[in-house]
Structure 1
């Protein structure tokens, strides 16, 4: 093992950069290091600049005034979290400002039923935890929660009988249909649940309230359950991965949307006959029936379209585009529908837009939109058509102080008149498009930094994206406040453990207001490969039914970054990523993966993974876009016999240093940018927000010693990569996200081609002993698949901090 070198960037001046770098032999410790071609006599201290924070009036560089950091809007520097009683800023920088009354709900509120009296709403929380939050009853006039029946598992399936005297809940993973009677006061009395024996995702009553039809998402069957006796009779079978169920009593039919197959099943309830599987858009979810006009409306959650089915012909007669942009870029997560009694207006929940759109059924035009809480998933109109009631699964966003608490909301808003709708529509646009206006409109084209102008003469030809695993900002970089807004009290893996990420953050560009968009790893690897996580994966991840990023239902309509590169002629290579890549692994993508590089595993040290990348790199294998997974900073916690977590994080850091050293000492360095992020922020805490994480950019073309405090997240990262490589927008997220403009050198600035010398792992190898409390707790965790190590963050805190309690201000983000 190399001796631990002092923190210094080492190398020699480069000449004739147009023809590539010159000799790159690293000087021995104590030799003079050259900072750049323009500074041949730079000392080692000069090679490590003091960070300059990207706030108004910060480092100017050579950018034109339109793109200079001093021109950035003040809103760009706001941190994520709730701002006041009615407003929050999400990790992606968008605002949430729901219209009307806000009723706080519990974790993962997902399904809604509205009583015919218009006075009570019933909400099911879709959690699979040991003691789920169950069914809540809300008094609509007062906005008060008047009853909580905990312990009932569910998903989005909740239904009232037409008379309003009975309620049923589809129990998802419990396989049970929960039954309740409804009193005159609107309160519930629980009856015995019926064990159907398969996962149930939705349910609906027949007109007389005697039979509940329950839909299974695993075997796709529709079961008729006698509400009084609990007798069960299979009635029909839908398509693959069924989701939503509606009944057409007059026709004796049931309709079910099928996520995985992109179809809607029409079934005869009397005979059980499958009448048709009607092809619609990608990942169909919510259904709304107009029995009078023989129309069935289908929300295609990945396509952001509404399919209109003629229920007599059982064929699609129209498809309405709700993407809201000329290019048809998806990312709105259109997931639930409600039809007004006249049949003239369709209310469509768009989860990623945090809004409900009003669609004219005459022609599919969008009349306007009403803002909701974060991630609306179900909705209903009051019987008098004056009030829109919406369940927003994530409320004001996943917890500022607890990543795993996505506390929902019931949003109770008056249906606006034309003028009111116009004002609310403008507010929805402002909430969602605000980040795209952080830089002046003139900051485009030739006003952009050269690195972001694209074209054949672009200065950066190679982009490397390195994905580490599950860390907040403070837990790694919090020990050095000069790097940005860090809290040493919350740092578990300081510079002595992670010298490379510290050196890179200090010497290149660091971001202290960057957020990982995911709450868990199975979402995180979708975000890092797609700049999105579709509605199916957002909702179903706790039940873990899917192979994420492999099962087609988890791949967004716009595809992955790998699909995007393939279609647009950008070469790419994958080291270790399966989600988002595995679905084409053995056909389209087989030639673009290093088969010797292990897919996600902690059983192989990250320095060995790095060595495998370098083996190929030394053979001249280096694509336009390179994606590398280094996951071992996840750690095994205190698992007896496993490597000590501090050593594992140090191994991960050393692997990072090896990769950057190899690239920066090569002929490719003058044309390369390396982005280093975490897939998600699970683990120990952060003092700003549970989603805040690490983003460091390493390149000759970035500002040296620069700290950006602009609010960025993964869509901004990909918006930046797209501009570097000349790619079109991958989806609506990257189309509307602000690229990372402030971090690059401007016109006339001189790139710094000084290579980087990696620093080795200085932590002695050790294994976790048996018999400790950390070993006992870790023994019950499953490290073989993502997101099954609940409490890992608390374990790491105790192993490193001992009995010291976590500060009360900590934004805890445990796994």
Structure 2
């Protein structure tokens, strides 16, 4: 059921509980601990409040663009008020006349008069006018005198402050910096309390001492196994209500902290001599795991377990074209990682719900496009292509059940029907052959899409489950198709104007000597500066911004708008020398046969969907599969990078 909001009517001994998994409102008697049952409600419910004077209505804050009102006497939903997208928190004035609703996907707050139940005004909480999605306005609180409204912007790491002494004619007062991803703001006297969902910085995690131990146990005072779903340590900020002078200084600091500005949304300054983009998505591994043995990059050979012998094409592509040794994924796990990879953003719903799902503490896996509440308001990369008239075709992404989960992808011309989604029983080499056949058929009729999105998930591996392909074989089969795609994109009729870009959704539980988010990225194109090494700090959003500029698309969020495009690795004059895919020296069909602790533990994991297996334990098993059963994977590092100095792309 996943309870998501509570409201208590002490006089009537009634507790109202909304649940987000079965879309219901439960009314319970606090004396008897029983209730008359549940009422079905529309969409997903997130919060509710009683009306203090009449005690007749409970306001249900739902996931899309509406606020519902429940009449406690009639036991019915009786009315609704329109809001902006994804209302998720409420603040009610002491006299009950004004209701303030945070809209996470719209960077805004809707002000509603409870008397006439109409919108009085909308407050833009973003740092700039007309900013795209990305402030993630997700909590509101009134000061003790109801004259000041504090608004938490989770993805801007700040509070927006409004003077609401005259509702309907409110004005902005400034901003206050907070910790990482503020999820709740409250007031107590002259204090402002802010809960920062991700604390101040990321932290190290430890490798389990006992390889037979699995996951989180409620009885553990301190779980030995720290996965992404339980490694963040939240913090509480206690802030004195600032006077005007201090608030002005706070606001200046907030603007210094953000890399986004409206100017960064500008399109490419000149036409780009590239027409086609092939975007290849893989699963979870760090830079050091794969390319840590390349001497020209910043790698640690002691952490490299899928080096040149196992992944010759990954090394050859990085050597012939460009090596990126300072590339970072924006996501933490596959749930948010695929959203970051396709939208440069993970919504408030996704960020707040994947940790519960991954820790096994309730909730469904709603992060593959199948639940509208989890999706960005304006959609994903293909939605932006559709609106801009840019042709696209999807191969496996958001197709974990074998069929597209997003309405636009279900159009028969927008996806390859024969291409499988997530299924680790299918080798990526087979996926590449399906893509090649489909691509050749499109070339024959001059219908190659401007954007092709290709998902190759084998590098997730099945651990050491007996009978499954070995981790090493998985890696050989997932890198070889990437090489084949690079070759196809360069040798077909579209090759002179087609880069093949490859990125990862997350890094999983893999060690890296710089930071656990550092991963590999590949770009193969005639317009790449051949045999180059690029140390510029890039991210998932950087790769998306580069593709957007090539295809003539606007940024999808404040993240890709602010990201540094990867122009530094391109050149105007094409180099048309082909890339020839290399054949791995070792067996692509090797299967696990050993009966050891890693095999027994692997057989307990769920590989039917991404990241259902604990990431760090799976990472440790993969490490042992290469380094030996008695070896220990080094603990990952996570860096606290405060400010990155912009590097001149000509340097």
Same fold (TM over 0.5): yes
Deviations 1:465-511 (A, max 9, x none): 111111111111112232x1111111111111111111111121222
Contact 2:23 2:41 in 1 (8 A): yes
Contact 2:510 2:636 in 1 (8 A): no
- Out of 406, 418, 422, the position equivalent to 1:596 is 418
- Out of 678, 684, 696, the position equivalent to 2:504 is 678
**TM-superposed deviation, 1:286:** 0.6
Deviates more, 1:403-412 or 1:231-240: 231-240
Separation (CA, whole Å) in 1 of partners of 2:476 and 2:16? 55
Contact 2:526 2:576 in 1 (8 A): yes
Q: What residue is the counterpart of 1:572 in the other structure?
A: 392
**TM-superposed deviation, 1:239:** 3.2
**TM-superposed deviation, 1:638:** 0.5
Instruction: Establish whether residue 367 from structure 1 lines up as the match of residue 190 from structure 2.
Output: no
Secondary structure in 2 aligned to 1:202?
strand
Separation (CA, whole Å) in 2 of partners of 1:377 and 1:279? 23
When Rg is computed on C-alpha atoms for both structures, the one with the higher figure is: 1
- Out of 512, 522, 531, the position equivalent to 2:325 is 512
**TM-superposed deviation, 1:421:** 0.9
Contact 1:265 1:276 in 2 (8 A): yes
Q: What residue is the counterpart of 1:345 in the other structure?
A: 148
Q: What residue is the counterpart of 1:787 in the other structure?
A: 611
Contact 1:453 1:724 in 2 (8 A): no
Q: What residue is the counterpart of 1:355 in the other structure?
A: 158
Unaligned runs of 5+ in 1: 1-197, 446-451
**TM-superposed deviation, 1:341:** 2.9
**TM-superposed deviation, 1:208:** 5.7
Deviations 1:385-407 (A, max 9, x none): x2211111111244355761121
Which structure has more strand as a fraction of its residues?
Answer: 1
Separation (CA, whole Å) in 1 of partners of 2:106 and 2:468? 44
Contact 2:620 2:633 in 1 (8 A): no
Q: In the superposition, relative to structure 1, how do residues 569 and 808 fare at CA in structure 2: closer, same or farther (>3 Å)?
A: closer
Deviations 1:768-799 (A, max 9, x none): 11522121001111100122111211111122
- Out of 554, 566, 577, the position equivalent to 2:374 is 554
Secondary structure in 1 aligned to 2:516?
coil
- Out of 751, 756, 759, the position equivalent to 2:582 is 759
Q: What residue is the counterpart of 2:316 in the other structure?
A: 503
Contact 2:286 2:512 in 1 (8 A): yes
Q: What residue is the counterpart of 1:461 in the other structure?
A: 275
Separation (CA, whole Å) in 2 of partners of 1:245 and 1:236? 14
Contact 1:472 1:686 in 2 (8 A): yes
**TM-superposed deviation, 1:218:** 2.9
Q: What residue is the counterpart of 2:531 in the other structure?
A: 705
Deviations 1:89-124 (A, max 9, x none): xxxxxxxxxxxxxxxxxxxxxxxxxxxxxxxxxxxx
- Out of 464, 468, 477, the position equivalent to 1:642 is 468
**TM-superposed deviation, 1:579:** 6.4
**TM-superposed deviation, 1:660:** 0.9
Deviations 1:44-81 (A, max 9, x none): xxxxxxxxxxxxxxxxxxxxxxxxxxxxxxxxxxxxxx
Q: In the superposition, relative to structure 1, how do residues 579 and 414 fare at CA in structure 2: closer, same or farther (>3 Å)?
A: farther
- Out of 180, 183, 193, the position equivalent to 1:377 is 183
Deviates more, 1:671-680 or 1:320-329: 320-329
Deviations 1:205-232 (A, max 9, x none): 3356955432222334433445555344
**TM-superposed deviation, 1:293:** 5.9
- Out of 399, 421, 424, the position equivalent to 2:203 is 399
Deviations 1:612-659 (A, max 9, x none): 111122231421111111111111111111011101110101111111
Once the two structures are superposed, the pairs formed by residues 273-288 of structure 1 within 5 Å of their partners are 273-288=76-91
Q: What residue is the counterpart of 1:616 in the other structure?
A: 438
Secondary structure in 2 aligned to 1:243?
strand
Once the two structures are superposed, the pairs formed by residues 8-19 of structure 1 within 5 Å of their partners are none
- Out of 627, 630, 634, the position equivalent to 2:456 is 630
Q: What residue is the counterpart of 1:31 in the other structure?
A: none
Contact 2:2 2:20 in 1 (8 A): yes
Instruction: Establish whether residue 271 from structure 1 lines up as the match of residue 74 from structure 2.
Output: yes
**TM-superposed deviation, 1:556:** 0.4
Deviates more, 1:249-258 or 1:402-411: 402-411
**TM-superposed deviation, 1:330:** 1.2
Secondary structure in 2 aligned to 1:804?
coil
Instruction: Establish whether residue 290 from structure 1 lines up as the match of residue 117 from structure 2.
Output: no
- Out of 475, 489, 494, the position equivalent to 2:302 is 489
**TM-superposed deviation, 1:545:** 2.0
Contact 1:571 1:625 in 2 (8 A): yes
Secondary structure in 2 aligned to 1:642?
coil
Deviations 1:372-396 (A, max 9, x none): 11111111111x2x22111111112
Contact 2:339 2:346 in 1 (8 A): yes
Secondary structure in 2 aligned to 1:680?
coil
Contact 1:235 1:272 in 2 (8 A): no
Q: In the superposition, relative to structure 1, how do residues 443 and 284 fare at CA in structure 2: closer, same or farther (>3 Å)?
A: closer
Deviations 1:644-686 (A, max 9, x none): 1101110101111111112222222221112111111103211
Separation (CA, whole Å) in 1 of partners of 2:399 and 2:50? 36
Separation (CA, whole Å) in 1 of partners of 2:548 and 2:74? 53
Separation (CA, whole Å) in 2 of partners of 1:464 and 1:399? 35
Secondary structure in 1 aligned to 2:346?
coil
Q: In the superposition, relative to structure 1, how do residues 400 and 677 fare at CA in structure 2: closer, same or farther (>3 Å)?
A: farther
Say what the alpha-carbon RMSD is for the aligned residues: 2.5
Instruction: Establish whether residue 804 from structure 1 lines up as the match of residue 631 from structure 2.
Output: yes
Deviates more, 1:204-213 or 1:702-711: 204-213
Separation (CA, whole Å) in 1 of partners of 2:481 and 2:196? 41
Contact 1:511 1:695 in 2 (8 A): yes
Deviates more, 1:597-606 or 1:540-549: 540-549
Q: In the superposition, relative to structure 1, how do residues 807 and 782 fare at CA in structure 2: closer, same or farther (>3 Å)?
A: closer
Separation (CA, whole Å) in 1 of partners of 2:591 and 2:426? 15
Separation (CA, whole Å) in 2 of partners of 1:496 and 1:199? 47
**TM-superposed deviation, 1:454:** 4.8
**TM-superposed deviation, 1:199:** 2.8
Instruction: Establish whether residue 222 from structure 1 lines up as the match of residue 25 from structure 2.
Output: yes
**TM-superposed deviation, 1:743:** 1.7
Secondary structure in 1 aligned to 2:605?
coil
**TM-superposed deviation, 1:283:** 1.4
Q: In the superposition, relative to structure 1, how do residues 665 and 421 fare at CA in structure 2: closer, same or farther (>3 Å)?
A: same
Q: How many residues align?
A: 596
Question: Could you state the TM-score of these two structures normalised by the residue count of structure 1?
Answer: 0.69
Secondary structure in 2 aligned to 1:316?
strand
Instruction: Establish whether residue 664 from structure 1 lines up as the match of residue 490 from structure 2.
Output: yes
Separation (CA, whole Å) in 2 of partners of 1:443 and 1:730? 10
Q: What residue is the counterpart of 1:145 in the other structure?
A: none
- Out of 221, 233, 239, the position equivalent to 1:413 is 239
Separation (CA, whole Å) in 1 of partners of 2:574 and 2:620? 43
Instruction: Establish whether residue 388 from structure 1 lines up as the match of residue 201 from structure 2.
Output: no
**TM-superposed deviation, 1:596:** 1.2
Q: In the superposition, relative to structure 1, how do residues 809 and 561 fare at CA in structure 2: closer, same or farther (>3 Å)?
A: closer
Contact 2:485 2:500 in 1 (8 A): no
Q: What residue is the counterpart of 1:129 in the other structure?
A: none
Separation (CA, whole Å) in 2 of partners of 1:579 and 1:387? 48
Q: What residue is the counterpart of 2:134 in the other structure?
A: 331
Unaligned runs of 5+ in 2: 206-225, 358-362, 640-651
**TM-superposed deviation, 1:424:** 0.9
